[in-house]
Chain A
């Protein structure tokens, strides 16, 4: 059992180096990972593959690396033995599943940075196994916790992000994805080609996760544009399911405004269709920008916008009918393109658009009227005569859901319908409202701070320092003035000479 003692001494070596300066610690941990990778390739670990109690020797929180490698070997062994990718041991509540769950819930974030590839494979396996056992929720929680453990800021996009939202959507456990979705992705794993200004090591305390979540670390598999487009589209769908329209709009906005060289991805077109509908749900109106119909965020390339507008005609027409405020036409428009909605799987959103149309119209009336009878209201909302029984319950449910700040008053003479009185704008319950606002403001502030940090990081990566921007600015002035000079400057010079000639 020399191997066993060897292993134990190797990891014990690391324990004692906990207090070392980070570069030495870095050195040791690299050695350890190398050692384990070598063991793995030389099949030296075969002997432990069936020994279940062997893993008990390691605490995943302290000996994350040995634990991870041994677990990998055991999983591979089981897969080989059963000739099945997901044998019962790996599936939820299997023996190895429990081990994996134990590891993913308590591993040491710093150590795992060195074994990113193995960590990723385990996370993917857990996700797939839970899918195979049709219990995606179990996988989703594990993946989410593991991701947050490795990188609490979650600012770098990895393939696990996509895996997580996919699992959450399958499990219909939308709020499970929120801790990750609410973190803003600002970077992609890149190879840091330039020599870093300060010699930093993986285990050092990094301000941002970009420096250790690199392409080489293997934390993420190779990413293509489809992956992040899908992630943001799915993320938008999660927010839609939770009716957080504004965030959904933002996520979809990201998808449709991504830079493209010449072609447009169908994912982007899909997102644009949803974007138009969600825009109606969030704002209650079309957003006009430079006289354009349903314009995407301003940084979208123009040719992409044209593609959207030709491919999503029915949606744009629907949005315009919404804007014009005719319920009958809106319904006709929806009926006419029923096939389109169901083919695009947007039927649910379209149905909500109609509901929002009603509430928006009623809320808009609140800006014109302080009080009016229900009969008058239904006359205003529905062009065709609809009996008050339809509007009555609809309005009361609006009031109860707090979408509408109003009260219903029964008038004295019962012959007439009841009176709807819109509350004046400033009669809100002050204190709770203020507190709510304050917390929202604080939240946005925090968001802005993280964004600023990430912005600095991006600038750093791109080599955009203040000095560079300054010199660029100067360069532009130079080139700009050289264009202007031939006409303006020279004539000015000539005039000067003329003046001098006149004087003399």
Chain B
């Protein structure tokens, strides 16, 4: 375990300066890193490999309900950290008023460590909290009814807000979002609207309802708040809309949104996303969706995004390696951090897809300057384990060659494999022949189509459409004069 690396001890603020130094040095003198173990197709959480972050420092970056979610995810996915994480999750749940969360965490812990003292339900707390929640709900609803009778807009709005907050805290997310959306009619100032929308975004984020996040973020962008407020909110808005785009799988849009997050995001939105997350998500999405020029221009040279990248220097290094054509080093970094990312609440689902895209794209980018490459040299970069493990790494049945075959057949790579000489040969298109071919083809298609349509018109004009039979017409009599053709087979 290479915890001695300066950038490996997690995204704590104290490491930032050394990490930034490290990152700037990495571009000029790429350091030789020996990867612990490279797994090309580890889609699941790798049990053997410990994550690089420290649980306490990691979770300290977040506030609000996301802390529990993250702890619970780590607890259920990582065998190494499960006990610690679940215990922390239980404590977290106990400080809140959400009984179902507490019960879920306890059940999970009971599966992992049945003998742990925390693994049994605290029945008294559960009962008491349940009672408290119920009375509180009734009280708030009663108050709201009172406000409604008084017809004072502001109090009604606050009544809804209190009820929504209460539901949110107790984990009834559907009811919370309903209560928040009822606030809309009673909002009187732009500020009210913004705060309501943010609350709705938070609820939707936790529910994983990314469409709703997207639409609310859009509304937030269009809300007419004061310029200073708008500037303050902009960072949060763009961060959350980028997040929703990433979740919807449109990585290029997500990249552009992440890149446009203003650097003053800071710790203002820790209940959803931290600046470190912006750097990681943005960096990975960019790697997966942009080519080398765009990466250099829009990511590495970006004035705003640089601030985020400094928080996660290894992402910066990976992008720099990618831009400098050093794909192996880039993969090494990404692979080393794969376990970390697989424990991230937002990234977990997208890591296999993102990594696959990065890999495909790097193969594609690698091929661009060459007209022919030996399969061996490619395999050394893209499939080092295969080179080591098999007698004939460039045989047709090797997984790497099969991967290339798949890429060619999908039309990603415009090249052909020469198995005799072990080469990948890029296709040269003869433009003249291509133009001739397409011209001829379109001419033919036009002629056929035109003929069809002229005939159609002629048939209709002559009144010769295919009609239902009216007895045996004279047409058949004529046809009957000839013996039927012998058919053809």
A interface list, Cβ under 8 A from B: 128, 131, 159, 163, 166, 169-170, 184-190, 221-230, 234, 237, 240-241, 246, 250, 253-254, 257-265, 268, 297, 299, 342, 345-349, 366-373, 376, 379-380, 409, 411, 419, 421-422, 424-426, 428, 437, 440-441, 444-445, 447-448, 451, 454-455, 458, 461-462
Q: Mark B434-456, 1 if CB is under 8 A from A, else 0.
A: 00100110011011111111111
* Interface segment out of the listed B84-92, B223-231, B232-240, B473-481: B473-481
B interface list, Cβ under 8 A from A: 396, 405, 408-409, 416-421, 423, 425, 427-430, 433, 436, 439-440, 443-444, 446-462, 464-469, 473-476, 478-479, 481-483, 485-489
Given A188-B459, A222-B478, A370-B423, CB of A265 within 8 Å of CB of B489: no
Query: Which residues on A sit within 8 Å (CB–CB) of B396?
Result: 372, 376, 379-380
A370 touches B462 (CB 8 A): no
Alpha-carbon distance A184/B451, docked complex (angstroms): 7
B416 touches A448 (CB 8 A): no
A297 touches B423 (CB 8 A): no
A240 touches B466 (CB 8 A): no
Q: Which residue of B lies closest to A169 (CB)?
A: B485
Query: Which residues on B sit within 8 Å (CB–CB) of A421?
Result: 420
Main secondary structure of the interface of A (DSSP, over half): helix
Query: Which residues on A sit within 8 Å (CB–CB) of B408?
Result: 367-368
Q: Which residue of B lies closest to A464 (CB)?
A: B457
Query: Which residues on A sit within 8 Å (CB–CB) of B489?
Result: 342, 345-349
Alpha-carbon distance A424/B423, docked complex (angstroms): 14
Shortest distance between the CB of B42 and any CB in chain A (Å): 28
B418 touches A131 (CB 8 A): no
A258's partner among B439, B456, B476 (CB-CB below 8 A) is B456
Given A131-B482, A224-B474, A376-B396, CB of A368 within 8 Å of CB of B417: yes
Query: Which residues on B sit within 8 Å (CB–CB) of A221?
Result: 478
Shortest distance between the CB of A278 and any CB in chain B (Å): 12
A170 touches B486 (CB 8 A): yes
Alpha-carbon distance A307/B66, docked complex (angstroms): 58
B444 touches A229 (CB 8 A): no
Given A128-B482, A234-B485, A345-B488, CB of A261 within 8 Å of CB of B467: yes
Main secondary structure of the interface of B (DSSP, over half): helix
Shortest distance between the CB of A450 and any CB in chain B (Å): 10
A-B contacts, 16 listed (Cβ < 8 Å): A166-B485, A222-B474, A226-B475, A226-B476, A227-B478, A259-B460, A264-B466, A348-B489, A349-B489, A368-B409, A380-B396, A448-B447, A451-B447, A451-B450, A455-B450, A462-B461
Query: Which residues on B sit within 8 Å (CB–CB) of A227?
Result: 475, 478-479
Alpha-carbon distance A188/B464, docked complex (angstroms): 9
- Name the residue among A184, A258, A370, A376 with the largest chain B CB count within 10 angstroms: A370
B478 touches A444 (CB 8 A): no
Q: Which residue of B lies closest to A246 (CB)?
A: B444
Query: Which residues on A sit within 8 Å (CB–CB) of B419?
Result: 369, 371-373, 376
Given A368-B405, A462-B457, CB of A297 within 8 Å of CB of B452: yes
Shortest distance between the CB of B444 and any CB in chain A (Å): 6
Alpha-carbon distance A225/B455, docked complex (angstroms): 13
Alpha-carbon distance A225/B408, docked complex (angstroms): 49
Query: Which residues on A sit within 8 Å (CB–CB) of B416?
Result: 366-370, 422
A185's partner among B429, B455, B488 (CB-CB below 8 A) is B455
Shortest distance between the CB of A360 and any CB in chain B (Å): 14
Shortest distance between the CB of A229 and any CB in chain B (Å): 7
A223 touches B464 (CB 8 A): yes
Alpha-carbon distance A246/B440, docked complex (angstroms): 13
Shortest distance between the CB of A324 and any CB in chain B (Å): 14
A225 touches B458 (CB 8 A): no
Alpha-carbon distance A260/B479, docked complex (angstroms): 20
Shortest distance between the CB of A17 and any CB in chain B (Å): 34
A229 touches B488 (CB 8 A): no
Interface pairs A-B: 9 shortest CB-CB = A224-B475, A260-B466, A426-B430, A188-B462, A370-B418, A370-B416, A371-B420, A444-B443, A263-B468
Q: Which residue of B lies closest to A448 (CB)?
A: B447
Alpha-carbon distance A437/B434, docked complex (angstroms): 12
Alpha-carbon distance A463/B443, docked complex (angstroms): 27
A241's partner among B433, B450, B475, B488 (CB-CB below 8 A) is B488
Given A254-B452, A348-B488, A368-B409, CB of A259 within 8 Å of CB of B466: yes
Query: Which residues on A sit within 8 Å (CB–CB) of B451?
Result: 184, 186, 250, 254, 451
Shortest distance between the CB of B400 and any CB in chain A (Å): 15
Alpha-carbon distance A421/B420, docked complex (angstroms): 8
Query: Which residues on A sit within 8 Å (CB–CB) of B473?
Result: 224
Shortest distance between the CB of B370 and any CB in chain A (Å): 14
A169 touches B488 (CB 8 A): yes
Query: Which residues on A sit within 8 Å (CB–CB) of B454?
Result: 186, 451, 454-455, 458
Alpha-carbon distance A264/B439, docked complex (angstroms): 36
A437 touches B440 (CB 8 A): yes
Alpha-carbon distance A190/B451, docked complex (angstroms): 18
Given A347-B489, A462-B457, CB of A425 within 8 Å of CB of B452: no
Alpha-carbon distance A299/B361, docked complex (angstroms): 42
Query: Which residues on B sit within 8 Å (CB–CB) of A369?
Result: 416-419
Alpha-carbon distance A299/B475, docked complex (angstroms): 26
Alpha-carbon distance A185/B455, docked complex (angstroms): 7
A261 touches B468 (CB 8 A): yes
Query: Which residues on A sit within 8 Å (CB–CB) of B457?
Result: 458, 462
A225 touches B464 (CB 8 A): yes
A190 touches B462 (CB 8 A): yes
Shortest distance between the CB of A33 and any CB in chain B (Å): 25
B475 touches A259 (CB 8 A): no
Shortest distance between the CB of A1 and any CB in chain B (Å): 39
Alpha-carbon distance A145/B436, docked complex (angstroms): 36
Given A224-B464, A254-B452, 6 further pairs, Cβ under 8 A: A224-B473, A226-B479, A240-B488, A371-B419, A424-B427, A440-B440
Alpha-carbon distance A451/B455, docked complex (angstroms): 11
B486 touches A188 (CB 8 A): no
Query: Which residues on B sit within 8 Å (CB–CB) of A448?
Result: 443, 446-447, 450
Shortest distance between the CB of A6 and any CB in chain B (Å): 36
A166 touches B452 (CB 8 A): no
A259 touches B427 (CB 8 A): no
Query: Which residues on A sit within 8 Å (CB–CB) of B405?
Result: 368
Alpha-carbon distance A444/B445, docked complex (angstroms): 10
Given A368-B408, A369-B418, CB of A169 within 8 Å of CB of B483: no
Alpha-carbon distance A373/B420, docked complex (angstroms): 8
B440 touches A444 (CB 8 A): yes
B467's partner among A225, A299, A376, A380 (CB-CB below 8 A) is A225
Query: Which residues on B sit within 8 Å (CB–CB) of A367?
Result: 408-409, 416
Query: Which residues on A sit within 8 Å (CB–CB) of B456?
Result: 257-259, 299
Query: Which residues on B sit within 8 Å (CB–CB) of A258?
Result: 455-456, 459, 465-466
Alpha-carbon distance A469/B358, docked complex (angstroms): 55
B427 touches A425 (CB 8 A): yes
Query: Which residues on A sit within 8 Å (CB–CB) of B446?
Result: 448
Alpha-carbon distance A223/B464, docked complex (angstroms): 8
Query: Which residues on B sit within 8 Å (CB–CB) of A229?
Result: 466
Shortest distance between the CB of A239 and any CB in chain B (Å): 11
Q: Which residue of A lies closest to B423 (CB)?
A: A370
